[in-house]
Amino acid sequence: MLARAFSFVALFIFLCALPAFAQTKLLRFPDIYGDRVVFTYASDLWTASASGGTAVRLTAHPGMEVFAKFSPDGKWIAFTGQYDGDEQVYVVPAGGGEPKQLTFYPAKGPFAPRWGYDNQVMGWTNDGRSIVFRSQRDSWTLPVSRLYKVAVTGGAAEPLPMPEAGSGDFSPDGAKMVYSPRTRDFRSEKRYGGGQANTLYIYDLATNDAKKISEGARPWRDAMWLGDKIYFNSDMDGKFNLYSYDVATGKRAAVTSFKDWEVRWPSSDKQSRIVYERAGELEIFDTQAGKSTKLSISVPDDGVYKRPRTVNALQVFENVALAPKGERVLFGARGDIFSAPVEKGATRNLTHSSNAHDKYPRWSPDGAQVAFVSDRSGEEEVWVAAQDGLTPPKQLTTTMRKMLYAPEWSPDGKKIAFSDKDGGLFILTPGQSAPAQIDDAANGQIRDYEWSPKGNYLAYSRAGANNFSQVVIYDVANGVQRVVTDPLFNSYNPVFDPSGEYLYYLSDREFAPQISGIEFNYATNRSTQIYAMALHKDSKNPFPFESDEVAVTAPAPDEKPSPTPEKPVDEKQPQPSASVTPKPTPAADTAKKNVPSAKPEVFDLDAGITRRVTKVPVPADNYAGLSAKTGHLLYFVGAPFYYGRQSDRPTSLRIFSFRDRRETTLLEGVNTYSLSADGSKLIAGQGPNFTVMDAVPNGAASRKSVSTAGLTMEINPVEEWNQIFGEVWRRYRDWFYVPNMHGYDWEKLRDQYKTWLPYVAHRSDLNYVISEMISELTVQHAYIEGGDFNLPPRARVALPGARFEIDKTANRYKISKIFDGENEEDAYRAPLREVGVNAQVGDYVLQINGEDVTADRDIYQYLRNKADAPVILTVNSTPSLTGARQVSYRPLTDESNLIYLEWITNNRNRVSEMTNGRVGYIHIPDMGATGLREFIKWYYPQIDKEGLVVDVRANGGGNVSRMLIERLSRKILGVNFARTNDAGSTYPDGAFYGPMAAILNENSASDGDIFPFMFRQSGLGPLIGKRSWGGVVGISGRGPLIDGGNVSVPESGLANLKGEWVIEGYGVDPDIEIDNDPRSVLAGKDPQLERAVEEVMKKLNANPSKLPSRPPAPKKTP
């Protein structure tokens, strides 16, 4: 009895010690049926009572499971999952069990968070027999998708009739759907009013008529059809709230009016209740009672993704630095600083900081300390750590409050130079209260500062108003700056000779133009040269004239002089003089250490210094990363930049020897290197591999691989996630294109969303929290993506470049379509159109690699994980193996290019047919490598057309619109005629003579916004279509986050010549607004294209565009 009493008391104490019921936040993508809700938390699915309480896990898998939807009878839950690697549609019993995969066509992706997920489950058909999902399987571009349905029993997916759809919900009778043609639901921007804003239509499934019900500029999204009303989510009044639309009367009404946290991802039970996210929690809105109820739900997650674990830090490598004498190596990786031995010893983690981003490690001259940049105080500051890692790091600066760059020690170890993102350059004396700012660049940052051998001077480059950099030498003692290079040339990367006699630098000034192969125009490449500047008036030429001379040795005192030569000396023969240096006898290069000059370090910074320059005798090339050591220069030689393909040579690390004036390649494929302070050794990185060698021309013989096996660390994910949140917030504070943050209180927004951090249980949760925070700024290009979370390997499906239909009688698949492609070009290779592949439209596919194929399964299920080898199809014109033949094809893993090629080919043919070949057509898919290639490919062969339609619909942006506008804007000034050519050629060449029109739509984005804007500004022709996306504040890379994630900060906005911001948040209006309505598209029409052709033909008919005819032959006889 006593034992029992004791056990009871112990149990009571144990229960009292347990934490009280706690509300879990960041419950995502909910759905509701009866008394149950389902949602995603920490990448898995959970269910709970619709009254709240403790949740029950439904799925457990390393991949994501999202968008769970109850079946109409509540027995099943469909969802999008990554069980088989990519995002596919699954179904699982509502009470739990084994998920069944229903779709098998390979999902696009994995996407950055702003694009969401392919094969996103939308719901069920009203009869509960099929699951509706959004897919991009038949789209060539990410913004365009379509709704499909797949039977719960499996089989092939079928498209719903709407040609484009991003979401949708059936009417109660199933005869209609409310749908949005687009989806931008994952975009990190609130209060968006650009052309891509979600719109809602009611679609009649019988007649294919579509009626637009949305109005205004703001999005109407997440439509739910309940009874005689359609409920939707919109931020038309500033915050996302629920609204209703009366189908009979067309009246709109707000049904919630939250002013703080917004409504996210609402989903209905198809009766009277809507569940949604708000403030990271779930709430249920009762449409009959007109009120919302909060759910208190506790998720007993095991926190597996929050547990400390050991990782390979080198997966997020940032910096490397070799010790002063080359014994050890510093690595900046995964936000920590490591010291690794070249050969023997242990790797040391000097900072142990999951809660900080430590970077830019630099050895002190004596090797005892390491300076680095860290945000462990909450702001980036300069810190120093002992090289043995036995004492805590010490903070040196306290007031910087902005992104900082590498701290560089002075040679005596008494000062540290560093810079910041605003162009400031500082010198810090450890022990002093604050660093001294010595420069403030008006344009960009100062990143290439270097101390003179004795630390009396600092050299660096600073960009001017023309964006050309000039080299500056700063006299530390008197605080005087001296610009030492010509502002008309771009000069940078200054480095001192260890003797203090010369300053070497790079300058772009050797312009040997390359001529384009398609038009008479130039490009520059290999324009950089290395120069040596004499720092003293009496400095000798580092490259004097060389001459082979006889070495004359004076006789010893007791030695008789040489006899008089029999032949007199030829007085005309040149003799050695003081200005000629005899060529030295070649000797082996050794790893000679840097030794500063013994004389005082005082440079002659007079006006003549800019003329005391000589060129280092190497040919102009793509140089970077210049370093100097006694007797040698080291540098990268980069490859020519090809947009869209690899260059013709890898980046190499080379060394130039002053002794024999010869350049030697040390390593190929190098992406980073560091020279020891004494100049004896260097470390070079080739991808994940690092090598230490003697810093001499024959240094390859001394190569030693540096083991990085010790670069492991235990991370605390929760600490990392908090650090990442803070760093992203600071990057926006520091880099956002206008300092007023669009009028928002950025600190207040940080504090608001910081309250969610304790509930982050998966790296994707953190991306969501950050996305919600930065979306408050109402700007495009605010992106967060990546990070350290593992996704399952994606299935490689052996796609044939074809489409299939089912013969229900035979229960077999038939080839219904084969993409023609262009097998002359790898990007558009069509497997079933290759030579020797005898497959035809109408053929039955009876077997795949010998396995019998029936329509009971999705045909793509037979093709999964077969993409790495040729696939054998057994085909026949009848559903019988008798007389069947086998064809083998080389599979694709993505058919997007074939879909794209078919679309543009049809468009070009349509334009040609409509105009009897008089008008040309070009589509530009983006403003990057692909778009530039397509422009070159299709513009020049159609330059003889009388008119031109330029299509930038669904143009994904980039940065080449200025090149295209320049080409299209060329004015013909004359015509050249040759006797043997019937047609004349224009002056300048590559100029189009004739009317143009451009087509844009809601998915013309970024630089795809700028192109139509500038097309109109240039007077090239009318714009036809729909208002564009509206995002032109450009982004730049500012380095990875500590776990490898990336954040994009909108940094540079576009203004017109009146000094007004343009396009951002609104888009570009067409001159003629034309919508491609579903009925027309389903009928095979393209109203936007047709109207563009009409506009061009109007101008052609009114004013035919023909070049002048050949003038009469001149007579020049008297």
Could you tell me the domains of the chain? 28-301 (2.120.10.60), 309-432+705-714 (2.120.10.30), 448-544+590-670 (2.130.10.10), 715-785 (3.30.750.44), 802-892 (2.30.42.10), 897-1031+1067-1102 (3.90.226.10)
Report the run of H or E that residue 934 belongs to, with start and end: helix 929-939
Pairwise CA distance, residues 340 & 712, whole Å: 11
Q: Which long-range contacts (CB under 8 A, 24 or more apart) does 1013-1017 make?
A: 1013/1062, 1013/1063, 1013/1068, 1014/961, 1014/962, 1014/965, 1015/950, 1015/965, 1015/968, 1016/1068, 1016/1071
Pairwise CA distance, residues 523 & 516, whole Å: 7
pLDDT band at 709 (very low <50, low <70, confident <90, very high): very high
Quickly list H helices, 611-682: none
Query: Six-digit token pair at 440?
Result: 């403030």
Quickly list H helices, 691-762: 717-735, 746-754
Whether the per-residue pLDDT at 567 is higher than 50: the answer is no
pLDDT band at 643 (very low <50, low <70, confident <90, very high): confident
Q: Cis bond leading into 1111, ω under 30°?
A: no
Closest residue by Cα to residue 604 from 479, 502, 461: 502
User: Collapsing DSSP states into helix, strand and coil, what is residue 727?
Assistant: helix
Average pLDDT, the chain: 93
Q: Are strands 336-341 and 100-101 parallel, antiparallel or unpaired?
A: unpaired
Report the pLDDT averaged over residues 780-796. 93
Report the pLDDT averaged over residues 403-419. 98
Q: What is the pLDDT of residue 641?
A: 83
pLDDT in tens, 79-111: 999 998 899 999 999 999 999 999 999 999 999
Do residues 979 and 953 touch, judged by C-beta distance below 8 A?
no
Pairwise CA distance, residues 1061 & 811, whole Å: 60
Report the pLDDT averaged over residues 711-732. 98
Report the pLDDT averaged over residues 751-757. 98
pLDDT band at 587 (very low <50, low <70, confident <90, very high): very low
Whether the per-residue pLDDT at 59 is higher than 70: the answer is yes
Q: Angle formed by the axes of helices 896-914 and 1087-1102, to 10°?
A: 40
Report the run of H or E that residue 131 belongs to, with start and end: strand 130-135
Q: What is the pLDDT of residue 495?
A: 99
Report the pLDDT averaged over residues 235-244. 98
Rg for the chain (alpha carbons), in Å?
Answer: 35
| Residue scoring higher pLDDT (1037 or 893) | 893
Report the run of H or E that residue 254 belongs to, with start and end: strand 252-254
Query: Six-digit token pair at 45?
Result: 């699915």
pLDDT in tens, 485-514: 999 999 999 999 999 999 999 999 999 888
DSSP for 748-796, written as a single string: HHHHHHHTTGGG--SHHHHHHHHHHHHHTT--TT-EEE--S---PPPP-
Q: What is the pLDDT of residue 573?
A: 40
pLDDT band at 551 (very low <50, low <70, confident <90, very high): confident
Query: Six-digit token pair at 1021?
Result: 């022709």
Whether the per-residue pLDDT at 16 is higher than 90: the answer is no
Q: Quote the percentage of the chain above a pLDDT of 70.
A: 94
pLDDT band at 556 (very low <50, low <70, confident <90, very high): low
Pairwise CA distance, residues 23 & 282, whole Å: 10
Do residues 1029 and 765 touch, judged by C-beta distance below 8 A?
no
Pairwise CA distance, residues 382 & 364, whole Å: 13
Burial 479-491 (b: 16+ CB within 10 A, else e): eebbbbbeeeebb
Whether the per-residue pLDDT at 723 is higher than 80: the answer is yes
Closest residue by Cα to residue 665 from 653, 676, 682, 679: 653
pTM for the full model?
0.93
Q: Quote the percentage of the chain above a pLDDT of 90.
A: 89
Whether the per-residue pLDDT at 815 is higher than 60: the answer is yes
Maximum distance among all Cα pairs of the chain, rounded to whole angstroms: 140
Q: What is the pLDDT of residue 570?
A: 41
pLDDT band at 593 (very low <50, low <70, confident <90, very high): confident
Pairwise CA distance, residues 243 & 256, whole Å: 7
Q: What is the pLDDT of residue 1105?
A: 84
Give residue 1096's identity as a one-letter amino acid code.
V
Q: What is the pLDDT of residue 346?
A: 96
Q: Are strands 65-70 and 53-54 parallel, antiparallel or unpaired?
A: unpaired
Walk across the sheet containing 457-463 and list its strands: 450-451, 457-463, 469-475, 480-483
Report the pLDDT averaged over residues 3-31. 61
Do residues 666 and 653 touch, judged by C-beta distance below 8 A?
yes
Least confident range from 401-410, 636-645, 818-827, 963-972: namely 636-645
Q: What is the pLDDT of residue 560?
A: 55
Report the pLDDT averaged over residues 683-689. 96
| Residue scoring higher pLDDT (2 or 600) | 600
User: Collapsing DSSP states into helix, strand and coil, what is residue 1072?
Assistant: strand
Give residue 454's identity as a one-letter amino acid code.
K
Report the pLDDT averaged over residues 643-662. 91
